[in-house]
């Protein structure tokens, strides 16, 4: 159920961004596909398609599941933004009933909208529902336990106005623990603008700026729709990285050292608490995405040299994330046989399987040493 009927508006889409599953090259087909996207997403909103010129409003989407303890704080953070035109859209995917309304009413006095799914849908579908419902020209997804500085939106909108070819904008990232204590900070020596391929190299190749998550950034709502939104990876793992990738190819990423996104880190928030089987399935989804997404394929055809380099970094990121968690679980959550089998859950990637062999050899050596004592 929804507090207010959602609207899908015809949005102008810049050239340079491919059409994803929410868009087609034909205008009428685009509206039909957009409506179909609503039906697939599980939203019960009434769909009204009408022309509208959007003001420079920023929609801040807050997805909510079962955890509600941080929600009052994030609402106050959105209320403290110094940017005047904000549409707050809180979306309940945890069937929390009236409790969401009560928390929002107690902690956010500005105009807002609340949407609620009748039943829980997968994470990526939920995120795309929020994008589909957004009426702002710009969109920012903010997890209910993360934070942004009071100038985050105004600073990034300013950068977008200065660099109209940019498709992604982000600030400095601080990693905080469950209690809100800062444990790591990304570099503040940021370039103002990078091409998409240069961003991929810096993010996953050289790790030049120390970013650990791309879950919150500013983008144009039309661009998000044009590229198809979040890909539907298993349990949503890695879908934010994938979205940034397809947004930035053939475009630019802009940065500001004057605003901050605070990412709350704990095992569940970074996906470390799930099963190895779930993680393997998500990483295989990511690998398939690199070979099938329309935006990726378009870039690969037009810029094969740059794509081959970017693909190398992304594949390494995927298998390295899986290997790190798999290796850590050798003595903890899995039996010896289960752990051995799960090491072979990814397709053949030479660098990955060299790392697996090294980890297995080290584990055998430790067991032999312990047995000899």
pLDDT in tens, 98-107: 999 999 999 9
Q: Is the pLDDT of residue 161 over 80?
A: yes
What span, in angstroms and rounded, lies between the C-alpha atoms of 264 and 148? 11
What span, in angstroms and rounded, lies between the C-alpha atoms of 217 and 269? 17
Residue 370 is predicted with a pLDDT of 72
Q: Is the pLDDT of residue 365 over 90?
A: no
What span, in angstroms and rounded, lies between the C-alpha atoms of 165 and 218? 14
Are 296 and 289 within 8 A, CB to CB? yes
Q: What is the pLDDT of residues 25-40, one digit of tens each?
A: 333 343 334 334 433 4
DSSP designation for 53:
-
Give the 3-state secondary structure of residue 324: helix
Q: Is the pLDDT of residue 271 over 80?
A: no
Beta bridge partners of 91: 63, 115
Residue 22 is predicted with a pLDDT of 43
Domain 8-264 of CATH type 1.10.340.30? no
Q: Is the pLDDT of residue 272 over 70?
A: no
Distance set, CA 19 to CA 13, 76, 228, 287 (Å): 9, 36, 7, 20
**Pairing status of strand 218-220 against strand 8-10:** unpaired
Instruction: Break the chain into its structural domains and give their ranges.
Output: 8-264, 276-372
Are 187 and 206 within 8 A, CB to CB? no
What span, in angstroms and rounded, lies between the C-alpha atoms of 173 and 321? 20
Residue 329 is predicted with a pLDDT of 72
* 229 against 271, higher pLDDT: 229
- Range 107-118 average pLDDT: 96
Q: Is the pLDDT of residue 137 over 80?
A: yes
Of the pLDDT bands very low, low, confident and very high (cuts 50, 70, 90), residue 267 is low
Distance set, CA 212 to CA 131, 159, 185 (Å): 23, 22, 9
Q: Is the pLDDT of residue 218 over 80?
A: yes
Mean pLDDT of the residues in the chain:
86
* 250 against 64, higher pLDDT: 64
Of the pLDDT bands very low, low, confident and very high (cuts 50, 70, 90), residue 330 is low
Of the pLDDT bands very low, low, confident and very high (cuts 50, 70, 90), residue 16 is low
What span, in angstroms and rounded, lies between the C-alpha atoms of 353 and 279? 17
- Range 145-168 average pLDDT: 97
What does residue 173 show for φ and ψ, rounded to 5 degrees?
Answer: -115, 130
Residue 328 is predicted with a pLDDT of 83
**Pairing status of strand 8-10 against strand 166-176:** unpaired
Q: What percent of the chain has pLDDT over 90?
A: 73
Q: Is the pLDDT of residue 282 over 60?
A: yes
Q: Is the pLDDT of residue 13 over 90?
A: no
**Pairing status of strand 138-141 against strand 218-220:** antiparallel
Residue 336 is predicted with a pLDDT of 85
Token pair belonging to 71 = 């929600």
């Amino acid at each position: 159920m929804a507090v207010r009927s959602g609207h899908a508006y015809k949005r102008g889409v810049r050239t340079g961004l491919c059409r994803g599953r929410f868009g087609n090259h034909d205008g009428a087909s685009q509206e039909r596909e957009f409506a179909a996207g609503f039906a697939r997403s599980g939203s019960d909103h009434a769909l009204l398609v009408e022309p509208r010129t959007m003001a420079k409003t920023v929609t801040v989407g807050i997805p909510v599941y079962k955890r509600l303890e941080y929600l009052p704080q994030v609402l106050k953070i959105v209320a403290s933004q110094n940017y005047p035109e904000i549409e707050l859209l809180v979306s309940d995917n945890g069937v929390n009933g009236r409790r969401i309304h009560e928390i929002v009413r107690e902690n956010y006095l500005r105009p807002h909208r609340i949407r609620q799914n009748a039943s829980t849908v997968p994470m990526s579908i939920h995120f795309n529902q929020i994008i589909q419902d957004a009426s702002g020209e710009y969109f920012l997804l903010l997890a209910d336990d993360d934070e942004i500085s009071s100038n985050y939106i105004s600073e990034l909108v300013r950068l977008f106005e200065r660099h109209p070819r940019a498709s992604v904008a982000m600030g400095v990232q601080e990693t905080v623990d469950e209690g809100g204590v800062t444990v790591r900070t990304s570099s503040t020596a940021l370039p103002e603008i990078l091409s998409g391929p240069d961003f991929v190299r810096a993010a996953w190749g050289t790790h030049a700026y120390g970013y650990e998550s791309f879950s919150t950034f500013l983008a144009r709502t039309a661009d998000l729709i044009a590229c198809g939104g979040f890909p539907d990876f298993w349990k949503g793992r890695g879908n934010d990285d994938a979205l940034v990738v397809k947004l930035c190819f053939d475009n630019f990423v802009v940065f500001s050292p004057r605003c901050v996104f605070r990412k709350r880190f704990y095992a569940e928030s970074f996906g470390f608490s799930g099963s190895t089987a779930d993680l393997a399935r998500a990483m295989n989804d990511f690998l398939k995405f690199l070979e099938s997404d329309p935006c990726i394929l378009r870039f690969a055809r037009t810029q094969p040299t740059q794509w081959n380099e970017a693909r190398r970094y992304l594949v390494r990121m995927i298998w390295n994330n899986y290997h790190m968690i798999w290796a850590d679980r050798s003595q903890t959550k899995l039996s010896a046989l289960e752990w051995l089998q799960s090491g072979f859950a990814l397709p053949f990637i030479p660098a990955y399987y060299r790392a697996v062999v090294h980890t297995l050899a080290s584990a055998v050596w430790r067991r032999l040493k312990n047995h000899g004592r």
